[in-house]
Structure 1
Amino acid sequence: GVVARAVSPGELEDAGSPLRREVERLMARWASSRPMAPMGFLVQLEPFSFAGERRYVVAEAGGAVVGFLAAVPVYARRGLFLEDLLRDPSAPNGTTELLVDQAMRTAAAEECLYVTLGLAPLAGPVRRGLRAAQRLGARLYDFQGLHAFKAKLRPDGWAPIYLVYPPGGRGLVAIYDALAAFARGGLLRFGLSTLLRGPAVVFEVLGWLLIPWTALLALAPAARWFPSPAVKWAWVVFDVCLAPAMLRLSRRHGQTLSLVLAALVTCDAALTLAQALLFNLPRARGAFELAAVGVAVAAPAAAAVLLWSARMHRQGLARRPRQGEPRDHARAPTITD
């Protein structure tokens, strides 16, 4: 079974201690398993900073760490904020709840007045634009799942959290600044890092985009765009097979399927480039046709990069010891008992 126990800061302050190394492996695996690149600001994972002020709980099974919790006191309000909550994907169900239970016992022993798990972003009554952002971002960040987890612990209350900006300021600018802070200062770099992880939604989008692209190929005049009708229909058949395979990869990422698709799309990119250089560019008429050839060359090349990057990311994850998974993204102290 799983046993949760409170550990003293001294057991984790030494970077060379066995327990510290186990927790760090769990943290690394958790960070790699997220669809998005690591975030900063309120959700930056730094459980060992000011270790002497923190409260720690580990969950162990068979002598291995399968869960970890780091909490910080809210001194002015005599509370305890459960800041970092990580669970190994192979840990039994209930491990996270066991960590919370042990932290609650610690809080009771210290006579804390409340315990909070922090933010549940975009939960509760939010404006239409934010609701749309919640739906669109659900594949990368499980807003509803995080809220549901915290709700099942039956808190005594929920405290709304607001984004505040100066009078005369613009709300969209404030939202952008907040997002940039979470993205460690660079939204473009953060977005690119997330794409290179190969989240499932990326391959789903690629799969659906292949459908209209394949229709365009089928309707395009063979004599104008292809060396021969046979080449045209070979490309059409290839994309007809590629689209459902890409959609399948988005639903269940298999190493064999990802390898096959990465190899096929790489060949697609190389052959498309060769056709563009030898056939399409010499015959291109005007900016529109040049742009069409550019898209035809760039799309499979970008898809190949994403497929290989996602495969390498998952291979690195698989080689690590099975030591970590979800952490509740919650960092702002809220009064949620």
Structure 2
Amino acid sequence: MESIQIKTASKQYPVLIGKKAIQELPELIMDEFNYVNKILIITDEKVAELHLQTVKHALIKTGKPVLQHIVPKGEHAKTFEVFYECQGYCLSRKLNRKSLIIALGGGAVGDLAGFVAATFMRGIPFIQIPTTLLAHDSAVGGKVAINHPLGKNMIGAFHQPEAVIYDLDFLQTLPLQELRSGFAEVIKHSLIADNDFYRWLKTNIVDLNDITDEQFLTMITKGIAIKAAIVEEDEKELGVRAFLNFGHTLGHAVEGSMGYGNFTHGESILIGMVYALKLSKKKRGLDFDLQDFIGWVSRLGYQITIPDRLEFAALLNLMKTDKKSVNDAATFVLLNQVGFPILEDIADSELIEEMTEMK
């Protein structure tokens, strides 16, 4: 079992990572949140089939009433309608400021449940229980949100969890596409922070179907530690936290244009990372073997080109609405070298030129 302490200006909390980590949940609640009068688990329809009973069984030891609310899977959970339904459920079951929400699922459920917790009665506590590799990024750091047709994660808040319980056993049920989505965020963390970690990934991860428990533990612990260091320095994305969006400017635009849920988050940002690496080589003189990188991720099953049916003008418009952009230009996270990111505004003409080369 690995334990990482997240320390931000507003809160300090533990992240517990390992097999059978869910067994730590009841003791955590009894020790730290014994005042809680009701526990609400928000999960999606797929995760409920796989893991809901395991979590409910663990919570029996707390002696607290446990409720559940099941939402659609994936990005379809992050809508105004589903958010409103969750708030209605909380009110109808008479949750109050002494209630606790548990987010059980992937990044989408974590974002939704966290935003429900942030806004119900102006904020109640919640605990993240990730069930996907992708959620190793989103479960830590307190960014919670829902989507809008004009932009991903544009309606949200900063609301730190009370704890993150990461049970590696839950990853055994992940389909290949979800592993691929989550591993893209692992790659991202290595590129923005640690060249040795990047080399370890390239050497050790050659087939996403064959990742061992030890490899999962290594990559998740390292990825969360990288994110923790950035979040501790910049909790509310006023500076260096924007570096965590490497690959996301174009990636979010691709994801939104393809329709949320139709193209996974990780597969979208992998395209965005290839694009940002190309721009980094052109604009910052990045010394990086891009063809070697493309060969590696292609063998892992990633698409590295912009889908043919997407229009440049629409993608450009979405990139300019990205939260990093403060002027009438698209702001990108680029790399001076691996582990040394920088923010830079890039002219429309250069963005169109690079998109043309990636079709």
TM-score grouping bracket, smaller chain normalisation: under 0.3
Q: Give 1 or 2 for the bigger CA radius of gyration.
A: 1
Q: Which has the higher helix share?
A: 1
TM-score (norm 2): 0.25
- More relative contact order in 1 or in 2 (CA 8 Å, sep 6+)? 1
